[in-house]
Chains A and B, each alone.
Chain A
């Protein structure tokens, strides 16, 4: 075992070279890390070991986990297509506890507040650490240094890359499915818990040693379409309920009524219009958060007003994006995650609304991906610094409270815009140095705030494009100065030396480390 040491990476952050005893590569710069070797692979399976009639049903999740060989130290993965309505992850670790299994690694594609019971399993030693986003209570727990191992945070694309490259080996993947057959074919389009795309589970289905599909909606073979292919699945399980529908997708996605957010959304849309970014055939991605949702609506208005049409929109689909598709304002939705029932319906009915996965959209160790082809992407951040470096995982007081999601991957887009309030409550968003670097400033083009727009000096083309507009373009330094005058200059919170989590870049290198919060 090599010695752990701390090194300074290409963005000047001090990061460990060993993470949970696995050697790791410090961030070298965008596009600089070129791995050698071959992709990870599973042991060659044989049909001789699987039932010829295709019926892989086992009586219970517990039985399936036992047959999959659940034992101490394994890595178990689950996925967040049920968001806060997931009922499976907690059951897995309750079963593990019942069986006396210890030291597991949980590798969710994201965690939600419903996963707070995992804290009990971290305390008891059933779970050793989490490799995946840690929000809310789990993030707080990790931030305070209570987790036995280091948390590892990856983007959606980074998770695919890590599993594909063998950095993150999954022993058992449990894929909860709204519809599946006994062979293991599964999709998210039908049933009580229909949630849209199951793309987050793709890597696990391909690279995990054992794959269990759990459903509450068993279809006779064939379950079509098979976003998850039964040929990758070991066992299937039927349970009463895999998720709580009303917590999975909301029937109605609400546009923000906050005047501050609407103002920011409108300013962002105006910027895009004045900078000439909205043109025939353009493509965009905007999330489902309040501000992003409103920006999508403003985009639709601008397209309609100018008689233009977008070639494709990447989603996070929701009813507003579906409306755009149905009104011909966009030709395609490439859907990574489906946020409401209208999105699910459209995905089911409209051939131009297509499921995608972190492989197609985000994986950096592929032969290209969709993210870099998008014209405009709208993202959030908790903090940015004067060099446009941005943070999405920690707050300014050091607490780890959010996952990366597809954020890092989307930075590859042609124009990356962050609409951010200049301060939240009293906390300024532009800092001398961000608490955690999640994305290098060279990839972030525009910060839109309610008090002015800062364009990355590297984007002279954008600066020129809006030079004669009435937009309040300022330098990021001017914006910071204004915020500090309004809020007062914040003190630098004192964080511990102890590292509690590592943040990976899209290529698997370590871009930053999260320090313990001294409460």
Chain B
């Protein structure tokens, strides 16, 4: 078998923690492997062993391979080498690094999703520390953040990252491409303990059905079980109109997010920080999500250096009824958490309500009043939710009842 050389990965002055692999199959001569690594003195031998193991995994006996490495971790090198091999040999066979034990945890439908950090799916440098900042969810993005010609290699990199990058308890998310390509993304993603699939440019229940059908088929084929949640992203006028239909399309839809860049483009309006142009979309989406019993998640705010504006926007989001927002930079996570968190005043009011309600229940009273205001079950429910969140965010002790004021 003789071929033209194929490539995968990235190189260049500003590329870190990545490598560029060139592979050519040859007829004879065994494996001619050259490794040009910035960390050669420390990891040259390890890289060579890894590369030879991958080639042998695919039964490649004769090839010429060049690895230009800028400090890539093993899971990155493996993804790059596999991406080359798959261009030459049609195969579904994967070379999988171990799923680290720290990543074997599950999520749940109702968990807090204040922040979800987007990480480009083909940028290894940003992956390794993505989860140390405490975002509630981390999204490996195969869609807009990946150039069209890099889609295939990104899929393998994201797969390996799901197995090897410690998510430190964050909800493990992947944004797949628009359908139908997104369905093929699922093949590489679903078997690796992903918690949430983000489905971009969602406009119909049918898309949700297609995704769920493919997930079921993969789980069946691979003999897997476990809940995989969906977060459709609505990014068009039609999507907004159909928000309720989408939010109720399946039981595993846990949240619906808004993507305002594309929505504004679709509407033919300019996106502003004030956001008058998207007020309808936001209100409609929140209303639909409430009706469907799922979380409404706001669009990302892209000026990550303007923390003040971000805080204002998040407070506005919270007041509209959103329960989270996308983050494009780690520096946004803390302001987002602080802004979505119940305020101290909200927490003390909630405590008061819960205590009064519990006392009333003990006494068998049906109706309670706080000051001149009636406290009915929805108010209590919201107070309980505020308290749960305050506890989860470390703003309130679990034993707040016994610790008093």
Contacts and interface: CB of A to CB of B under 8 A. Distances in A.
Interface of A: 257, 259-260, 262-263, 396-398, 425-427, 450-451, 470, 485-488, 490-491, 493
Contacts of A490: 39, 42-43
A302 to B, nearest CB: 16
Given A486-B166, A488-B43, A491-B43, 11 more contacts: A263-B129, A263-B133, A425-B70, A426-B17, A426-B43, A426-B71, A427-B42, A450-B129, A485-B100, A490-B43, A491-B42
A427 B71 contact: yes
B378 interface: no
The 4 closest A-B pairs by CB, nearest first: A425-B71, A490-B42, A259-B330, A493-B41
A166 B288 CA distance: 82
Interface string B15-38: 011000000000000000000001
Given A425-B16, A425-B38, A487 B73 contact: yes
Contacts of A398: 41
Interface in B107-132: 128-129, 132
Contacts of A450: 129, 132
B316 interface: no
A260 B329 CA distance: 11
Interface string B40-59: 11111110000000000000
Nearest to A266: B334
B42 A493 contact: yes
A211 B166 CA distance: 59
A262 B41 contact: no
A57 B75 CA distance: 66
A491 B132 CA distance: 27
A263 B130 CA distance: 12
Contacts of B394: 470
Q: Which of B42, B133, B331 is most buried by chain A, counting CB atoms within 10 A of its CB? A: B42
Contacts of B44: 491
Nearest to A428: B42
24 contacts: A259-B129, A259-B329, A263-B129, A263-B132, A396-B42, A397-B40, A425-B16, A425-B39, A425-B71, A426-B39, A426-B73, A427-B39, A427-B42, A450-B129, A451-B132, A485-B100, A486-B128, A486-B166, A488-B46, A488-B73, A491-B41, A491-B43, A491-B46, A493-B42
Contact of B129 (A260, A397, A488, A493): A260
Most A-side CB within 10 Å, residue of B41, B100, B129, B133: B41
Given A260-B129, A450-B129, A486-B128, A425 B17 contact: yes
Contacts of A493: 41-42
B330 to A, nearest CB: 4
Contacts of A262: 331
B187 interface: no
B72 interface: yes
A257 B330 CA distance: 11
Contacts of A487: 73
B41 to A, nearest CB: 4
A427 B42 CA distance: 8
B302 to A, nearest CB: 15
Given A425-B38, A426-B73, A486-B128, A259 B133 contact: yes
